[in-house]
Structure 1
Amino acid sequence: MSSETILTNALVVTREDMFSGSVTLADGLIRAVDRGPSRAPGAVDLGGDVLIPGLIEPHTDNLERQLMPRPGVLWPSALAALMAHDTQVAGAGITTVLDSICCGELNEGKMRRTIFALSVEAVRHGRRTDVLRADHLLHLRCEICDPIVMEHFEPLADDPLLRLVSLMDHTPGQRQFTSHEKYREYYGHMNWSDEQFEAMVAELRAVQERVAPAQRARVVELCRRRGVPLASHDDTTEEHVDRAGDEGVAISEFPTTEAAARRCRERGLAIVMGAPNVVRGGSHSGNVSARDMAAAGLLDILSSDYVPASLLHAAFLLHGDLGLPLPGAVALVTDNPARALGLDDRGRIAPGLRADLVRVRMVEGHPVVHQVWKRGARIL
């Protein structure tokens, strides 16, 4: 007979409701969800803390930040960098994380090309040796204007860890970088002279025209054939969204304007916004506010992007500041991404699903991760 763990006296947040109750875990799954306290001997009293599903992160650059802690600095051990990333992720209540790894790049001294294979192998090694707290999967971000993108992407198109592919184009003059000045500000550490900057822009535009259409079409074809969800990135216009919708893209990551987000809603694309945008009260790039999008009903999924701890914080801010019901706010970081990514075995507190759970304690109105379970085992 398998052993059980009973978590009781918790504010249980389900997809539709929240109530004081108990959750029974066994064999890595949720066995039962009950209202009211459990009288079973050995039940773990959560003292009225909030119990939510483990968070699901569809897009984080945090592994890259551990591998390259400073511009031009490559950390000597990819596994050590992954472990540091995993510790931050689990500590933020994230039990499933799609590590976003760039296939190609346009700037940054081509360091992303260097760390691509290191990143993928680190994730495989961590899973193989069972040293990771969170469940790590792959999100490949294809910079379709880099001529080498297919060299990196095609060998991984059939990888069982691959759960999302995004189509990126960071050529200056469009999408996130409609303003050349914003582009130059973002890459300020490159220290371009005016002449160098203009030459670089001209070169990138020429490369985009030459290679982007065919490479984008090839990535879309491979993902369709293999059933891998596709995301667009930094959609700015209705035309961007229409093109993505026509290609079968299911997710729009970080649309930069309300017009693009509204078109996503019309076309049925799930809308992802950045949790740091919510926490900071606005976009660091001067784009549309995630809070405004949530208030307008134009937000489906939150991503921590570059700050793992922002994911939980943002969900509770949308609940506390905008009045979004807590089950709906929590779904932005649990059930909604699970559904968009085809991870049907997690994301909700319901019998038969994975026992991925987070105990959240409210401290002066701030949500604090107190305990985390993955498949019923404590990882924090």
Structure 2
Amino acid sequence: MIALCFENARVLRPGGWDAAPLAIAGGKIVDELGVRRVDLTGYDILPGIVDAHGDGFERHMAPRRGALRERASGVAACAAELAANGITTAMLAQFWSWEGGMRGPEFAEEVFASVAEVAPTVPIDLRLQLRLETHFLDSFDAAEAAMARWGIGYVVFNDHLPHVRLAEGRKPPRLTGQALKSGRSPEAHLALMQALHARSDEVPEALDALCARLAARGVRMGSHDDRNADTRALWRGRGAHVSEFPETLEAARAAREGGDSVVLGAPNVVRGASHAGNIAASELIAAGLCDALASDYHYPAPARAAWRCVELGLLDEVAAWRLVSEGPARLLGLEDRGRLEPGLRADLVVMERETRRIVMTMAGGEMAWLSGGIAERLI
């Protein structure tokens, strides 16, 4: 493995910026050694980004819906994109849903198999999150079996049924487009949603039982789009201690008060608002109600969002970068990364100080991305 000592850069350590050398060897950060030294004057070194939730891999695996699927090569291309954006650990969030298409079990199995094939061959640490639809009752057993088969240790629960419309007997918006994505006719898709909605009374008991089994296996659990304190309390009672993208201040505050972790969308910060009309992530960050910023659907977003927090005066540079490194690492239980300290994984990002452009990414001490003039300093 690479053994180097970087000198004359600013290094973002847990206590803040300093100019002390940073040495790596054996895939870890080490105390300074007598290894080859590289001058990184003008550059900053930061902990590698830990992405707690992202589905940007879909465009690589299915670049044209229904026409082309690129499985293993798509995952490899995704790993390259992750590295170029400073992400050294990526939680690939894959649906297991009645919605079908790229959200259905068949596509999910393709994703799991492809990640299992590619992950050992790339420096980026690729991990899997299963996003399970709460009303997909008849597929709970299959989802649980898939998690065991592929070693998936993180599940987040979603509910994308338009319950209000269905209860009123009205057609949901965008029905035709969603049906086409699923490979069904609009009539069949609507009938399926109505049937799932009709079984809503069965869902709480089924979820209680499933969550109890998953908790006994040590599976990490979370909920998605919490709307209020009652919803968060319900999921906490089932052992789901991660609140992804809470929609309101009430829900986020309830998560914090209950000792749960809050994940917000980095694109929301960059854009300045929720595309769905929910509370802006910047408001929750300003209130101290964020533990991690995730890529959601755009891998360049975490790094950009961290700096946007600084530009908006929400956080200083140390606290802002912690939301994309140490924060997500902790909520995922990954204590060996997220900080630049001796003994931890050599996951790091090098940026041009003036432009904040990522020019080098190392994951586990291996070179994952290298660009521009910094290559000349290494050669």
TM-score norm. by structure 2 comes to 0.87
Partner of 1:155: 145
In the alignment, the residues of structure 1 paired with residue 80 and residue 292 of structure 2 have an alpha-carbon distance, to the nearest angstrom, of 23
CA contact (8 A) 1:3 1:26 kept: yes
Matched, 1:12 2:7: no
Partner of 1:126: 118
**Which 10-residue stretch deviates more, 344-353 or 66-75?**
66-75
Deviations 1:140-181 (A, max 9, x none): 11112113432432224445742321111112147xx9x999
Partner of 2:48: 54
TM-score norm. by structure 1 comes to 0.86
Partner of 2:375: none
Segments of 5+ residues of structure 2 without an aligned counterpart are 370-379
1:51, distance to aligned residue in structure 2 (A): 0.8
Q: Residues 260, 158 of structure 1: CA spacing in aligned structure 2 closer, same or farther, 3 A cutoff?
A: same
Question: Secondary structure of 2:118's match?
Answer: helix
> How big is the alpha-carbon RMSD for the aligned residues of Structure 1 and Structure 2?
3.1
Matched, 1:276 2:267: yes
In the alignment, the residues of structure 2 paired with residue 71 and residue 46 of structure 1 have an alpha-carbon distance, to the nearest angstrom, of 44
Partner of 2:358: 369
Which residue among 134, 148, 157 is the counterpart of 1:167? 157
Question: Secondary structure of 1:101's match?
Answer: strand
Q: Residues 228, 180 of structure 1: CA spacing in aligned structure 2 closer, same or farther, 3 A cutoff?
A: farther
Question: Secondary structure of 2:9's match?
Answer: strand
Aligned pair count? 365
One-letter amino acid of the structure 1 residue matched with residue 40 of structure 2 = L
User: Counterparts of 1:325-364 in structure 2 under 5 Å?
Assistant: 325-364=316-355
Deviations 1:286-307 (A, max 9, x none): 1110111111111111110100
CA contact (8 A) 2:266 2:296 kept: yes
Q: Residues 341, 160 of structure 1: CA spacing in aligned structure 2 closer, same or farther, 3 A cutoff?
A: farther
Which residue among 61, 75, 79 is the counterpart of 2:72? 79
Segments of 5+ residues of structure 1 without an aligned counterpart are none
In the alignment, the residues of structure 2 paired with residue 377 and residue 114 of structure 1 have an alpha-carbon distance, to the nearest angstrom, of 33
CA contact (8 A) 1:283 1:289 kept: yes
One-letter amino acid of the structure 2 residue matched with residue 95 of structure 1 = T
Percent of pairs with identical residues: 31
1:362, distance to aligned residue in structure 2 (A): 3.9
In the alignment, the residues of structure 2 paired with residue 119 and residue 341 of structure 1 have an alpha-carbon distance, to the nearest angstrom, of 21
Deviations 1:247-290 (A, max 9, x none): 22221000011111111111111111000001111111111101
Partner of 1:209: 201
Q: Residues 180, 32 of structure 1: CA spacing in aligned structure 2 closer, same or farther, 3 A cutoff?
A: farther
Deviations 1:4-38 (A, max 9, x none): 310111111122311222111111111127xxxx9
CA contact (8 A) 1:361 1:369 kept: yes
CA contact (8 A) 1:171 1:208 kept: no
CA contact (8 A) 1:172 1:180 kept: no
Matched, 1:139 2:132: no
Deviations 1:63-122 (A, max 9, x none): 2232233444451x31011112111111111111111121223x3557522211111110
